[in-house]
Amino acid sequence: MEAGTVHGITDGAIFALYTDRRLASLQAPVATLKASNPKGTTTILVPLPESVQPNIDKQAFGLLIKAGEDESFRIHVEPNEKLRRIFEEIAGEREKYDRTQPKVMLVEKKRAELDIAVDGEKLVFNITDQFVRAQGLHRLYDTTPLTLESIRPVIRKAAHYFWHLRRTGNTKHLQSLVDIEFRRLEEVSENYDHTFHSVRRPYGPNLIKDGVIDIVVEKEALYGIKIVNKSEGALYPSLFYFDNSDLSISM
């Protein structure tokens, strides 16, 4: 299949196979397949034991019907019977109504990405994901009442956030072909661009240290990012901002 880890596909994802994409909502699939060892942009699909061997002419269309186990959103809740019942209901809802979305799993604290605890009449959300904690954030700013209606949208948002946060391909060769710089900028007052704005140029060292930028931003300071493609092919980057304080993702 011409899709892989860069598209978020993981081992164990289940696909329904159709001979024509336009018929996906009109007829039964010709086979049900499981993703095996996905690469960057390709995935091997293996028929399930109960599925027939598909007869494909030139090409077919695969529709995701169940997310892989590695995509599960792992949470820990403190020992509280009401709290546990709420999260078991949320987990059951996601499994029943949309199996293509990351599944919610209740796990022990050391395996969790988010730890939910009761503080008076409110819930607090402690971040246990080690990548996020390394950036100095240990808790979400927002709290919610101890009700299913209040918790459900938070879990939906958190599952979406952490699924994208750990969407990293198995192959690392691209990292050696791209350099990223983050530098302070200064304006060159005697030079102007075609829009009559002062030209800005970098000065000082690259502020990225071990993959992290840790700075105190000065008033009216200007900064710029430079991406250097050292490969022979054309690359088209998309930059996303992950805000760990409120679990938002923006471009």
The domain limits of the chain are 5-69, 72-165, 174-250
How confident is the model at residue 170, as a pLDDT?
56
How confident is the model at residue 206, as a pLDDT?
93
Q: Which of 42, 93, 33 is nearest to 68 (CA)?
A: 33
How confident is the model at residue 181, as a pLDDT?
93
Give residue-wise pLDDT tens across range 66-119: 877 666 788 888 887 777 777 777 766 655 555 566 677 788 888 888 888 888
Residue 249 is inside which H or E element, if any? strand 248-250
Give residue-wise pLDDT tens across range 26-40: 777 888 888 888 887
Highest mean pLDDT among 125-129, 131-135, 141-145, 226-230: 226-230
Q: Which of 208, 241, 250 is nearest to 225 (CA)?
A: 208
How confident is the model at residue 69, as a pLDDT?
67
pTM of the model: 0.68
Which CATH number is 72-165 given? 3.40.50
Q: Which of 111, 11, 5, 156 is nearest to 69 (CA)?
A: 11
Residue carrying the six token digits 């918790």:
151
- Calpha distance 42→9 (Å, rounded): 9
148-165 and 81-97 helices, crossing angle to 10°: 60
Give residue-wise pLDDT tens across range 165-203: 877 655 566 778 889 999 999 887 766 666 667 788 888
Judge residue 215's burial from the number of C-beta atoms within 10 Å of its C-beta, 0-12 exposed, 13-18 middle, 19 or more buried: exposed
Give residue-wise pLDDT tens across range 211-222: 888 888 888 888
